[in-house]
Structure 1
Amino acid sequence: MGPSAVERWLDLSTEELRAQVKQLVAARLPGDHAVWQAVRRHPALVPRVRGVLSGLAASAAGSKDEAMQKVWISKARAALDQPYVAPVRAARKPAAKEVPVEDAPGGESEPVIDLREPEPQEPRQPHRAIPTMLFQEPN
């Protein structure tokens, strides 16, 4: 199972996709693995995989491995929640912005370097599902 196989998942039937996702969940790959990145790359595939994960959680209910299956499924859901980051090509970043000066003394124009630092961007945190909690009144 690799990122190239994920490309074919869009054409699979529900049962075939279920078998593939079940193998992926059992593999317990980290969220930044190439397979999860390939799944997140396709916006149409993410909801289908979420649906299959819900079906797997429902089918695991009542089995002897229910707790283990639910942990694996929750890790798979967390891997889907991570934002897709496109690969960044190595590009030369200019250290400072050069602004030409048109009327420099002496007749020569020298570039003026703007040394302002870029505005800091707030880091985005992935959306995390909050588990439902039920409280009961004491009798």
Structure 2
Amino acid sequence: MAIGPSAVERWLDLSTQELRAQVTKLVSARLPGDHAVWQAVRRHPALVARIRGVLSGLTASAAGSKDEAMQKVWISKARQALDVTTPPPVKAARKPVVKEAPVPEAPEQVLDFAQPEPQRQPPKVIPTMLFQEPS
């Protein structure tokens, strides 16, 4: 069975094993969320629920395999594709004309270099220490 929007209609009648095989192919295809196949799947809430169950089974079967990380990424992308909602078309509205207000200039900062630097204190004198030899 092929993967396409028309084939998705027949997925409702598939057994769990056959559906699992189709979902595995769909996940491996890594189609974007706005693809026609995902749109066809999202039109059938019962099919979405069955596919979620199959994806959970695929995640469990991928555990411990050498490709576990890759398969989990693909499965999470498939779950995200199931969650995508298509927004209704928005009518193009005329944009209001916005008049730009003049931007007030920031006052200039005046740096006063005439202040004297603080006077440095002379280095402290360290007293000389004398050491005596032990007797």
Q: How many pairs are equivalent?
A: 93
2:23 matched to which residue of 1?
A: 21
Structure with higher strand content: 1
2:78 aligned with 1:76: yes
Q: Which residues of structure 1 form unaligned runs of 5+?
A: 96-139
Between the aligned partners of 1:40 and 1:83, the Cα distance in structure 2 is 9
Structure 2 vs 1, CA of residues 8 and 85 (structure 1 numbering), >3 Å: closer, same or farther? farther
Deviation at 1:58, TM superposition (A): 0.2
1:31 matched to which residue of 2?
A: 33
Retained in 2: the 8 A contact 1:40–1:84?
Answer: no
RMSD of aligned residue pairs (Cα, Å): 2.3
SS at match of 2:66: coil
Question: What TM-score does the superposition give when structure 1 sets the normalisation length?
Answer: 0.61
Amino acid at match of 1:5: A
Question: What TM-score does the superposition give when structure 2 sets the normalisation length?
Answer: 0.63
Deviation at 1:35, TM superposition (A): 0.2
Matched ranges for 1:62-73 at <5 A: 62-73=64-75
Deviation at 1:84, TM superposition (A): 4.4
Percent identity of equivalent pairs: 83
Structure 2 vs 1, CA of residues 13 and 84 (structure 1 numbering), >3 Å: closer, same or farther? farther
Greater relative CO (CA pairs within 8 A, separation 6+):
2
| Runs of 4 or more consecutive aligned structure 1 residues displaced over 4 Å after TM superposition | none
Matched ranges for 1:1-139 at <5 A: 1-84=3-86
Structure 2 vs 1, CA of residues 17 and 25 (structure 1 numbering), >3 Å: closer, same or farther? same
Q: Which residues of structure 2 form unaligned runs of 5+?
A: 94-135
Amino acid at match of 2:31: L
Deviation at 1:83, TM superposition (A): 1.2
Once the two structures are superposed, what CA deviation does each residue of 1:55-113 show, in whole Å capped at 9, x if it has no partner? 00000000000000000000000000111457x6xxxx7x8xxxxxxxxxxxxxxxxxx
Larger radius of gyration: 2
Once the two structures are superposed, what CA deviation does each residue of 1:14-45 show, in whole Å capped at 9, x if it has no partner? 00000000000000000000000000011111
Between the aligned partners of 1:41 and 1:85, the Cα distance in structure 2 is 14
